[in-house]
Chains A and B, each alone.
Chain A
Amino acid sequence: MVPKDIVVFLEPGADAARLACAAVLAKRWQAHLIATYVVRPIEGMPYAGYMVGRALEAFLETYTAQVAHDVAEARAVFDRLTERRSFTSEWRVSDNETPDELMLHARHASLAVLGPPAAQRTNDAPLSLSERVLFGSGSPCLLVPDGWRGDTLGRRVAVGWNGSCQATRAIAAAMPFLVEAESVDLVVVPQAEAPGTYGTDPGVSMAGHLSRHGVTVAVDARAGTDAGVVLVERCAELGADLLVMGVVGRARISELLLGGATRTILRQVPIPVLVAA
Chain B
Amino acid sequence: MIRDLFMPLTGTPGDTPALAAALVLANALPAHLSVVQPFAMPAPTIEPWGMAPDITELYAELRGEARAYSERFRGRLEQEGVSFDLRLAESLFMEAPEVAALQARYADLGVMVAPVNGEPRDRAALRRLFGALLFDSGRPVLAVPPDRPIEWPIRRAMVAWMPTREATRALHDALPLLAHAAAVDVVTVEPERGEFGLGDWPGADIGAHLARHGVRVETMTLPRQDQAIAGVLLRHAAERGAQLLVAGGYGHSRFREWMLGGVTGELLGAAHVPILFAH
Q: Do A and B form a real pair?
A: yes
* Residues in A lying within 8 Å of B, measured CB to CB: 1, 4-5, 31-32, 98, 100-101, 103-104, 106-110, 136-140, 163-169, 172-173, 175, 196-197, 199, 205-206, 208-209, 212-214
Q: How far is the CB of A232 from chain B (nearest CB, A)?
A: 24
Known: A1-B179, A110-B209, A172-B138. A138 touches B168 (CB 8 A): yes
A172→B139 contact, CB < 8 A: yes
Partner of B164, one of A109, A138, A140, A214: A138
Chain B residues near A139 (CB-CB < 8 A): 168, 172
* Further contacts, 16 of them, CB under 8 A, given A165-B138, A196-B102: A1-B213, A4-B214, A98-B196, A100-B163, A103-B163, A103-B165, A107-B164, A108-B206, A138-B165, A138-B166, A163-B102, A169-B138, A172-B138, A175-B1, A209-B107, A209-B108
For the complex, what is the distance from the CA of A106 to the CA of B206, rounded to whole Å? 11
B1→A108 contact, CB < 8 A: no
A4→B212 contact, CB < 8 A: yes
Q: How far is the CB of B174 from chain A (nearest CB, A)?
A: 10
Partner of A165, one of B3, B106, B137: B137
Number of chain B residues whose Cβ lies closer than 8 Å to a Cβ of chain A: 34
A163→B213 contact, CB < 8 A: no
A104→B3 contact, CB < 8 A: no
Q: Which A-B residue pairs are the 3 nearest by beta carbons? A: A138-B165, A168-B138, A165-B138
A108→B213 contact, CB < 8 A: no
For the complex, what is the distance from the CA of A60 to the CA of B175, rounded to whole Å? 45
B102→A108 contact, CB < 8 A: no
The 27 sampled A-B contact pairs (Cβ below 8 Å) are A1-B213, A5-B212, A32-B212, A101-B196, A104-B163, A104-B205, A106-B168, A107-B163, A107-B164, A107-B167, A108-B205, A108-B208, A110-B172, A138-B164, A138-B168, A139-B168, A164-B138, A165-B136, A165-B138, A166-B138, A168-B139, A169-B138, A172-B139, A173-B172, A209-B4, A209-B108, A213-B3
For the complex, what is the distance from the CA of A82 to the CA of B166, rounded to whole Å? 32
For the complex, what is the distance from the CA of A1 to the CA of B210, rounded to whole Å? 12
Which of chain B's residues 1-52 have a Cβ closer than 8 Å to chain A? 1, 3-4, 32
For the complex, what is the distance from the CA of A106 to the CA of B164, rounded to whole Å? 11
Chain A residues near B168 (CB-CB < 8 A): 106-107, 137-139
Nearest CB to that of B31 among chain A residues?
A: A212
